[in-house]
Amino acid sequence: MTHVLVRIGSALPLALALSACATARPPATPPAGAPPSAPAAPPAAAAEHPTLYATLWIQTAAEYRAIAWQAYATARSSLARALEDTTWTAAIEQEGTGYGGLPPAIILDVDETVLDNSPNQARMIRSGGEFDPESWSRWVEESRAPPVPGAPEFLAVADSLGVTVFYVTNRDAPQEAATRRNLEAAGLPLEPDVDTILLRGERDDWVSDKLSRRTAVAERYRVILLVGDDFNDFVAANLPRAERDRLVERYRDRWGERWIVLPNPIYGSWERALYSEATDPDAAERARLRLDAMEDLQP
């Protein structure tokens, strides 16, 4: 893919490009050497898992697929306008800088934004366990996460229009090869000559806060869209709830235009914010804090 800016006079080229795209999915059968399934927890224990309903919603609800398609349809609409307007940027890191002559790029998160990891969550629920890095690493190495609905079609259009697609993910640096395999299997575009998968720890200053990686992209490209499922994909996220609320209000004009958010009720910085005032809370304390966070408008 070259970095030639293609001007768009209407939505017709986008529609034609979209009609030629098909969603690719990884093979359904486990690859040779895949780890055995985790032992099943008693049905009653699995039924009480705190992420059961959220995982079921992701996997079974027509509403989830509709929201995902809606998000990427909104991104397609913004893409056309962003390519026409050379003053358009989605990156707060580019505010007040000269970026108009830079080639266009999109920054997306990976997990629950372009790849759906709910099958791994379902395994965890069935086994009655909680997240742990070892089982997550085994899942990543399988490279079998299917694409989020709408992502392959949208990114194929962006790629065909000369937009470089960057994946800024908090997967760890040693997981790059497996992540690349999965993105390719899901039919998502990758640059042959540019490192577009930017992982946590790939450089010393690339920590879980994605600011430094967005800045690295913004130094060389005009960032026209940010797409993610977590506040951290747009601004600093590891903040108390009140500060997060202030920031989401401050940037309200960007949501649905320059910033496209996908739903993720399973995990994320939103949950960590519930525990921000606790020190290393155990499962019982986390459950109490979740209940305390709810508003029931009692008199």
* Euclidean distance between CA atoms 198 and 22, whole angstroms: 26
Q: What CATH number is given to the structural domain containing 97?
A: 3.40.50.1000
Say if 29 falls within a structural domain.
no
Structural domain total, the chain:
1
Say if 33 falls within a structural domain.
no
Say if 196 falls within a structural domain.
yes
State residue 22's pLDDT score: 38
Looking at this protein, which amino acid is placed at residue 58? I
Range of the domain at 76: 43-293
Strand pairing category for 222-228 and 259-261:
parallel
The structure tokens 């499922």 sit at: 229
Model confidence, pTM? 0.85
Tokens of 31: 């690859």
State residue 5's pLDDT score: 35
Q: What is the pLDDT along the chain (299 residues), one digit of tens a residue?
A: 444 333 333 333 333 343 334 334 443 444 444 444 555 666 777 888 999 999 999 999 999 999 999 999 999 999 999 999 999 999 998 988 788 899 999 999 999 999 999 999 999 999 988 899 999 999 999 999 999 999 999 999 999 999 999 999 999 999 999 999 999 999 999 999 999 999 999 999 999 999 999 999 999 999 999 999 999 999 988 889 999 999 999 999 999 999 999 999 999 999 999 998 888 899 899 989 999 999 999 88
Kindly state the DSSP code that residue 79 receives in the 8-state scheme. Answer: H
Say if 58 falls within a structural domain.
yes
Q: Measuring CA to CA, how many Å separate 246 from each of 89, 239, 251?
A: 22, 11, 9
Cα–Cα–Cα angle for 30, 31, 33, nearest 5°? 110
Say if 17 falls within a structural domain.
no
Say if 8 falls within a structural domain.
no
Q: Which of 111, 97, 79, 103 is nearest to 233 (CA)?
A: 111
Q: C-alpha 103: how far from its chain's center?
A: 23
* Euclidean distance between CA atoms 212 and 170, whole angstroms: 12
